[in-house]
Amino acid sequence: MEKIDLAVVFYEKEIDILTLLVKSLELHCDTSLVDKIYFINNAVNQSEGREAFTSKILPLFKTFKDAVSVVDAVTLGVQHNDGANPYIAQQALKLSIATLSDKSHYLVLDAKNHLIRKLRRNDLFTEDGKPISHLQIHGGYLKTCLEESCKYFEVDVDTNKQVLPTVTPYLMITSLVRELLEEVKKREGTGIYELILKNDKLTEFLLYFAYLTYRGGKSHFYSFEPKPYATLFTRWPESENDIKRVLDSTLEDGVWTFSVHSKRFEQLKSNEIDFISNLWVERGLFNNVGSAKKFIERQVTPPTSPSQEMTNAAGDGKVVEGRNRRLFIANDSNDVIKQHRGEKLLSNSQVKAWRRVIETRHAFCAAKGIAYRLMVVPDAHAVHKEDLPQLDNISAVRPINQITSELYDHSYISYPLEELVDATNIGESYHPVDSHYTAYGAYICYKRIIKDLRINIPSLTGNQVEFITKLGTGDLGEKFEPHRTAEYTECVVKQGRAKKVWNNGVTNRGHMSVWVNADTSLPTCILFTDSYGWKIQRFLAESFSKLFIIHSPLLEHEAIDILKPDVVVSLMAERFLIYTPKDIFDKSAMQFADEKGGDIKSYEEILSVSNVHI
């Protein structure tokens, strides 16, 4: 009977976990079933990725050493030298592999997957040769992706019912994938990577499902059995019962792969570590429990070289690398690291000026019956202080402490440091290679704002949003050549009721935009913000009937007088506290917008734009 090919997409940070997969292939895979094993190098630095694989992974192969082929992403049309998005790239590559394989089927595995028993032909095919898959119901964000994928191929699918899965291991029908790629090229004039880049609600496996539905339906191509894997995802399973159920399923004959997501290792409890370590020893992947536990420890705290703990970037030198490869702003005009070391403080007159600004803003709004809140978003240097060696053994007063100590009333200023630190136990509240918080971090700050306003405003609950782990670069990662990438936590609203209806086309200072909510009974809000407003506005828009975004460090009196909001929020980065805003005398956002060619010249026009129903 015909063999299959295996395909694994990996990047540089997955080299260590990849050793477990390789061990399992040597132990539990047979040459009578598998022909070639393709390892697709998705590292941003392709030469480094290939070198790491060749030196650390290739020597582990014995039985399959002649079957292994390393393929650089560029060979399959992904141009990392031109700044390709690694997260989208890995999706596209799982489909593009079909152009390499000469077999009827190929099995896609992730680097985190590993076999825990012998892989048999009847795990993959029925007696009459039909490939086997399993069925899942997709909710939340994945349901949205399913709807988008089906819309692309113009197929009518009940998205509340079971469809094909979105996780590996995944047995693909090679000819079907090739036809999908050709169909995309015919429709778009470009490849699969460009399509997913254009619409990030399209995903590789759901596109594949939509296409096979377009070609005849899932039951025409696949037979269905229970899922063959046990996986500890980053955030699921959560309850002890669910965790036990997943771990216990590794003892079932139908389960032949086990996986632990990279962010899950640090969440493992001692009894879970014991179970996994014993499982690995029992299945021949480690000689003893001690070495298995050391492997788990290494995934939690990868070894770092002290000489690399503080590495200046090429180019402007305004970034340093801390522990765990996290990047931080440094040597900037705000002297942010000096601020956190207590070496760059506000003068007494600056502290008093800040108190006057905050109290005057509150009084101005209160006189108009408007609720006011200032949120200072903590720097990554405070949230991830333990990753920055320059702050070791430092516990210093910073500008934020000076200002809050001076205030008589703290009821209208928020500094959500504790919440953002706690949030790191679940996901990345700050992007490891960006100077800003992630959408997940923005959601945490949004929750604090709504709570602190102390008025009757609906707040998005955990059931109304979804956290998704992605891989990508950021403004600090882009200072390196090649660009640094890292996993970060995205947060999306599952069923949003708000829509952005206008923006003035201006970037940064002077930018303005309007969100409108289907629920017109909600209060209205103006958000005065810096770049931290980009990710939080999506959440705030769900709590207000109208949300006006104004990129300005000031409290713009004209905007408030004309737009007449119920709530005003000022949002700013902690590092900018060294500058005291002059709300009355500094250049206004409308002046900046006018100079930059904004398409609306008055707040009256903006108010008119907001009077739409969605």
Q: Give me the residue label for tokens 């536990």.
A: 293
CB-CB contact of 405 with 350 (8 Å): no
At which of 202, 225, 248 does a domain end?
Answer: 225
The sign of the CA dihedral 266, 272, 275, 279 is: negative
Does the pLDDT at position 305 exceed 50? no
SS3 content of the chain, % helix, strand, coil (to 5): 45, 20, 40
Does residue 255 share a domain with residue 168?
no
Record the pTM: 0.61
Does the pLDDT at position 310 exceed 80? no
pLDDT at 333: 85
Instruction: Answer yes or no: is 379 within a domain.
Output: yes
User: Domain residues for 20?
Assistant: 4-225
Residue 72 tokens, joined: 């650089």
DSSP secondary structure letters along 21-88: HHHHHHHH--TTTEEEEEEEE--SSHHHHHHHIIIIIGGG-STTTTTEEEEEGGGGT--GGGT--HHH
Q: Could you read off the pLDDT of 267-291 as tens digits, one per residue? A: 999 999 999 999 999 999 999 999 9
Task: Round to whole Å and give the CA distance between 201 and 191.
Answer: 16
Q: Could you tell me what percent of the chain has a pLDDT over 70?
A: 97
Does residue 258 share a domain with residue 194?
no
Does residue 235 share a domain with residue 219?
no
At which of 178, 203, 225 does a domain end?
Answer: 225
At 244 the three-state DSSP class reads helix
- Per the structure, how many domains does the chain have? 3
Residue 517 host element (H or E): strand 512-517
Instruction: Answer yes or no: is 275 within a domain.
Output: yes
Enter the DSSP assignment of 378. Answer: P
Q: Give me the residue label for tokens 């492997």.
A: 295
CB-CB contact of 208 with 165 (8 Å): no
Residue 316: pLDDT band with limits 50, 70, 90:
low
Q: Could you read off the pLDDT of 480-528 as tens digits, one per residue? A: 888 899 999 999 999 999 999 999 999 899 999 999 999 999 999 999 9
Does residue 368 share a domain with residue 270?
no
Does residue 151 share a domain with residue 238?
no
Q: At what angle do helices 289-300 and 270-282 cross, to 10 degrees?
A: 130
Task: Round to whole Å and give the CA distance between 288 and 71.
Answer: 34
Q: Which whole-number Å values give the CA distances from 386 to 302, 382, 429, 563, in the listed order? A: 15, 9, 15, 44
Does the pLDDT at position 312 exceed 60? no
Q: Could you read off the pLDDT of 519-536 as tens digits, one per residue? A: 999 999 999 999 999 999
Residues in the chain: 614
Does residue 236 share a domain with residue 217?
no
At which of 225, 252, 268 does a domain end?
Answer: 225
Return all residues near 102 (Cβ < 8 A) that are at least 6 apart.
Answer: none
Enter the DSSP assignment of 505. Answer: S
pLDDT at 614: 84
Does the pLDDT at position 304 exceed 60? no
Whether the upstream peptide bond of residue 482 has omega within 30° of 0, thus cis, is: yes
CB-CB contact of 607 with 563 (8 Å): yes
Does residue 542 share a domain with residue 443?
yes
Does residue 280 share a domain with residue 208?
no
Residue 102: pLDDT band with limits 50, 70, 90:
very high
